Amino acid sequence: MNSNIEKLQPYPFTKLAALKKDLQTPAHLPHIALSIGEPKHEPPEFVRDELIDNLDKLAAYPATKGIDPLRQAIASWLCQRFQLNEVCADTQVLPVNGTREALFAFAQAAVSPGSKVLMPNPFYQIYEGAALLAGASPHFINCTASTDFKPDFASVPESAWKACELLYICTPGNPTGALLDAEDLKQLIDLADRYDFIIASDECYSELYFDEAQPPLGLLQVCEEIGRSDFHRCLVFHSLSKRSNLPGLRSGFVAGDARILEKFLLYRTYHGCAMPLYTQFASIAAWQDEQHVRHNRALYREKFSAVLDILDGCLEVAPPQAGFYLWPRVGDGENFARELFRQQNITVLPGGFLARKAEGINPGAEYVRMALVATLEECIEAAKRIKAFCQ
């Protein structure tokens, strides 16, 4: 077996299960899960129809590169959403089976053993696992209140930048909801040029925001603004899971630097991870429709408004800039999560499970992550119980 497997920590939800083990919850209170970032809104019916209509294609092997109409639909969406002049569907877009699979696989193709992979802290656990199994060393960049929960890039020593081959960023951030702005992204592009590394921007929460007139920026959008139309050293990862409430479809894409994607396509051809044809046709329909996405955002806005109104004054929490998580400061995240479950039968995720100790602190230890993915009624009920628990 690959000895690097021994370096992997238990997944956050494995730790959470151990934290809750043997706890007795009130029998009269139904369980409400705010722990897993799994969208629960109704998937678009027209996407399900496309799946059913294309089941006859089960008899065909799909190409790893994906079909032309899907890549064209993605390229058109990118241009419209991020105000790009042109994206080459043939060379700058690659469909993948969800961002999780692609974020992990990319590190296996892109980094050398002994190099460094930089990532925010707290972070999506796939970044760390991908780095370790590629034989690289993770370098964690703390995200704290002092930097508005954005990674403190100024704290990274030059030695880490010099050893870096891949930088993961997540904007909007998981779990904090923080956004990187244009100046942040321009700074990272300059650093990538200076130290010769690739930027992998995880943007899977980019379509969950609150002001319809101000959608979050994307890395390729900033590339376009500075005249970097080839997206040199830059890749973005997008998914239909959060945008379209389709986590089970396992559909997303990687887009950006054509030279990098050419090599990643070769890797994926050997990896054997082509997207099924019926999934591709369903994905085309999803990427070409924005009405269901606007409706999705409206549902989240309603939940955030109701929950934050109830929690006002009893919990140190602010609305995120984007995404569907709350990131309240609670003092001891593990104790808060354990006692909230025991007393109120509500599951939240300790923030320390999503982070590692770096520069002497675990930046998630005083927080918990609450995913507002349940129904409006359940979220309101959960907020009332949390308020009672805090009081």
Tell which CATH classification among 3.90.1150.10, 3.40.50.1000, 3.30.230.10, 3.40.50.1010 matches the domain 9-38+292-390.
Answer: 3.90.1150.10
The count of other CB atoms within 10 Å of the CB of residue 61 is 8
Phi, psi dihedrals of residue 3, rounded to the nearest 5°? -65, -20
Total-model pTM: 0.97
What's the rounded Cα separation, in Å, for the pair 97 and 92? 17
Phi, psi dihedrals of residue 161, rounded to the nearest 5°? -60, -40
45-289 — its CATH code?
A: 3.40.640.10
What's the rounded Cα separation, in Å, for the pair 19 and 341? 10
List of residues 6+ apart from 253 with CB closer than 8 A? 74, 93, 94, 95, 96, 237, 238
List of residues 6+ apart from 206 with CB closer than 8 A? 171, 172, 215, 216, 218, 238, 243, 322
The domain spans of the chain are 9-38+292-390, 45-289
List the end-to-end C-alpha distance of the chain, in Å, as a whole number: 51
Could you report the per-residue pLDDT of 79-90, keeping only the tens digit for each? 999 999 999 999
What's the rounded Cα separation, in Å, for the pair 147 and 150? 6
What is the residue-level pLDDT of the chain in tens, covering all 391 positions?
999 999 999 999 999 999 999 999 999 999 999 999 999 999 999 999 999 999 999 998 999 999 999 999 999 999 999 999 999 999 999 999 999 999 999 999 999 999 999 999 999 999 999 999 999 999 999 999 999 999 999 999 999 999 999 999 999 999 999 999 999 999 999 999 999 999 999 999 999 999 999 999 999 999 999 999 999 999 999 999 999 999 999 999 999 999 999 999 999 999 989 999 999 999 999 999 999 999 999 999 999 999 999 999 999 999 999 999 999 999 999 999 999 999 999 999 999 999 999 999 999 999 999 999 999 999 999 999 999 999 9
Residue 91 amino acid letter: T
Strands 93-96 and 252-256: antiparallel
Residue 203 amino acid letter: E
- Is-contact 333 350, C-beta < 8 A? yes
List of residues 6+ apart from 248 with CB closer than 8 A? none
Residue 143 amino acid letter: C
Encode the chain in three state secondary structure.
CCHHHHHCCCCHHHHHHHHHCCCCCCCCCCCEECCCCCCCCCCCHHHHHHHHHCHHHHHCCCCCCCCHHHHHHHHHHHHHHHCCCCCCCCCCEEEECCHHHHHHHHHHHHCCCCCEEEEEECCCHHHHHHHHHCCCEEEEEEECHHHCCCECHHHCCHHHHHHEEEEEEECCCCCCCCCCCHHHHHHHHHHHHHHCCEEEEECCCCCCECCCCCCCCCHHHHHHHCCCCCCCCEEEEEEHHHHCCCHHHCCEEEEECHHHHHHHHHHHHHHCCCCCHHHHHHHHHHHCCCHHHHHHHHHHHHHHHHHHHHHCCCCECCCCCECCEECCECCCHHHHHHHHHHHHCEECEEHHHHCCCECCECCCCCEEEEECCCCHHHHHHHHHHHHHHHC
